[in-house]
Amino acid sequence: MTTQPSMPLVVQRIRERNRQALEAMIAAEANHHSYCAQVAAQGLTALKRLAEVAEGDSHQPQHCRRVLLAVYNSYAWPLNLTSLRVLDNDLRRAALAVIEWSAVSDRELHEYLPHGHELMQRFATIEQQKDQ
C-alpha cells in the first residue's frame, strides 16, 4: 500500500494561511483609513469650535487655548489634564477629538485654520501674559 505524499497538502495549507493573513492585513488597513477619515472629520469641526471659543476672555477660553497650544507645541505648552476637567462637556469632547486627531494627522493641525500659525502665536502671547 502506498500513501500519498503530504507535501502538496502542506503547501496548499501554507498558501491558504498566507492568503488569509494578507486579507486580514488589507482589511485592517482599510479599517485604519476609515478610522482616520472619521477622526479627521470630527477633529476639524472640533478644532474650529475650540479656536472659536479660545478667542474669548473667560475661564473656558483659557483652557481651550491651553489645549490648542499643547497640540501646537507640547514642549513649550504641556497640557495640564485638569484643563480638561474644567471644560464643559461639549468642549471636553472637542478637546479630546482634537488631541486624537493630532495623533493620526499627517499635517500640523494649525495648518487647517486660516492664519493658524499667527493664531497660535496670539494665543501663546495671551497665555504668557496670564502667567505673569
Query: In tens digits, what is the pLDDT along the chain, a chain of 132 residues?
Result: 555 666 778 888 899 999 899 998 988 888 888 888 888 889 999 999 999 999 987 789 999 999 999 999 999 999 999 889 999 999 999 999 999 999 988 899 999 999 999 999 999 999 998 877
- The pTM for the full model equals 0.76
**Quick one: cell of 121?**
502665536
Distances (CA, A) of 107 to 14, 20, 45, 120: 41, 34, 16, 15
pLDDT at 7: 73
- 21 SS3 class: helix
pLDDT at 3: 57
Distance CA 77, CA 103 (A): 16
